[in-house]
């Protein structure tokens, strides 16, 4: 028998939108190389440029400033690999940002988080007083929303601070794009990373968004693709799917109201069933689709296995840290104890989530808390 599954792990990756699949299949028929001047090449080039326009519209940027990459990890690495003297690095950032910053050769000024899950941006000013870094070569990096807790970060306030003090700003918009309104050009950030597969597009494609007029050295060299900013033949089918997903996400931003209602229904049911459970991040602003729940005395690893056996896909922390179910660096930075952190699981909703999915999860949660859970055959 086939297993009936309930998928609630959209912050790790979203199921592929039908429109994205259709765009990808159509792009596979574009046999030309988009760098070729013949008709087939021009057809492939149009696919890429049409998608570039759609991705730009999603984040409020100019199409000419969208550089397609293999994903947000590459985009983050590229932005942080530039010649910075100092990087102001919140402890709650995604692993791809943390690792890239520490490999950059820049001095690192770590920024704490408060108990709500927001980065304490006032610490940037405190660190500036003692910094000897060259003006114009200091970078602040900040995510729009945290992948584990869904807590929305003070991006606008940080952007204003950076403008006032002459600091560059890099934004990791992976979890925010398609879930909240983004106007990149109005923020005045230097760079921003976005990803296709969080939106319902394919995996393996993303983009680095550049400030208008910013000249950036390639991270990957060779050919002259992407206006000589990133070498390598473009992933035409992946980019087509990315563009389709971006267009759907922009048109469906209002869907976040429905997801917020489903999330609130979920959290109310969890706390009614298990009053000792804790929903992480409720004291701060959160994405409409994310719940991080912890219950002291439980093991996240065992919970994930039980849910999986019952046909439900949820996660613990970041999917990019798979195989490491343990205390989350994000929750630790928030001051949450190791014992509670090790019990935390994340439920994240998306375009195909229904009330039935929420009720199914709550039913299995109740069974697990009562001492058992059914396996789906």
Q: For 249-283, b where at least 16 C-beta lie within 10 A, e where not — what string?
A: bbeeeebbebbeebbeebbebbeeebeebbbbbee
Cβ–Cβ < 8 Å for 93, 172: yes
CA distance 325 to 300: 7
Cβ–Cβ < 8 Å for 117, 346: no
CA distance 75 to 100: 10
Displacement of CA 343 from its chain's centroid (Å): 22
Three-class SS state of 134 = coil
Count the alpha carbons within 13 Å of 29 in the hemisphere toward its beta carbon. Answer: 4
320 is catalytic: yes
CA distance 143 to 294: 23
Tokens representing 250? Answer: 């922009």
Residue recorded with tokens 């520490």 = 102
Check 320, 340, 369, 376 and give the catalytic one.
Answer: 320
Dihedral through CA 187, CA 188, CA 191, CA 196, nearest 10?
A: 30
- How, if at all, do strands 168-172 and 138-143 pair? parallel
Tokens representing 90? Answer: 């919140």
**CA-closest candidate to residue 345, choices 288, 309, 306:** 306
Residue 347 CB: number of other CB atoms within 10 A? 28
Instruction: List, edge to edge, every strand of the sheet that includes 345-348.
Output: 278-279, 290-294, 345-348
CA distance 130 to 225: 42
Cβ–Cβ < 8 Å for 78, 101: no
Active site residues: 320
């Amino acid at each position: 028998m086939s297993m009936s599954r309930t998928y609630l792990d959209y912050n790790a990756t979203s199921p592929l939108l039908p429109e994205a699949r259709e765009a990808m299949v159509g792009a596979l028929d574009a046999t030309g190389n988009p760098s070729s001047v013949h008709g087939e090449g021009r057809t492939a080039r149009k696919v890429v440029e049409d998608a570039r326009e759609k991705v730009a519209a999603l984040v409020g940027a100019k199409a000419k400033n969208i550089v397609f990459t293999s994903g947000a990890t590459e985009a983050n690495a590229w932005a942080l690999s530039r010649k910075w003297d100092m990087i102001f690095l919140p402890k709650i950032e995604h692993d791809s940002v943390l690792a890239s910053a520490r490999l950059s050769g820049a001095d690192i000024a770590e920024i704490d988080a408060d108990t709500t899950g927001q980065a304490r941006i006032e610490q940037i000013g405190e660190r500036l007083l003692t910094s000897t870094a060259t003006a114009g070569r200091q970078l602040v990096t900040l995510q729009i929303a945290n992948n584990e807790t869904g807590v929305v970060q003070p991006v606008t306030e940080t952007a204003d601070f950076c403008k006032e003090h002459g600091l560059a700003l890099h934004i990791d918009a992976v979890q925010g794009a398609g879930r909240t309104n983004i106007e990149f050009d109005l923020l005045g950030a230097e760079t921003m990373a976005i990803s296709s597969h969080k939106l319902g597009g394919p995996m393996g494609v993303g983009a680095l968004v550049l400030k208008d007029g910013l000249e950036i050295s390639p991270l990957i060299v060779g050919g002259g693709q992407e206006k000589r900013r990133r070498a390598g033949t473009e992933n035409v089918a992946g980019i087509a799917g990315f563009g389709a997903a971006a267009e759907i996400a922009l048109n469906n931003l209002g869907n976040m109201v429905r997801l917020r209602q489903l999330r609130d229904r979920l959290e109310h049911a969890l706390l009614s069933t298990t009053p000792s459970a804790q929903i992480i991040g409720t004291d701060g602003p959160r994405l409409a689709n994310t719940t991080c729940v912890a219950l002291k005395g439980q093991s996240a690893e065992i919970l994930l296995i039980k849910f999986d056996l019952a046909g439900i896909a949820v996660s613990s922390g970041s999917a990019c840290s798979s195989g490491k179910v343990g205390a989350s660096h994000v929750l630790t930075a928030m001051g949450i104890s190791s014992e509670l952190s090790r019990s935390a699981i994340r439920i994240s909703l998306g375009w195909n989530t229904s009330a039935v999915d929420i009720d199914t999860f709550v039913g299995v949660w109740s069974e697990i808390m009562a001492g058992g859970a059914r396996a789906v055959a």
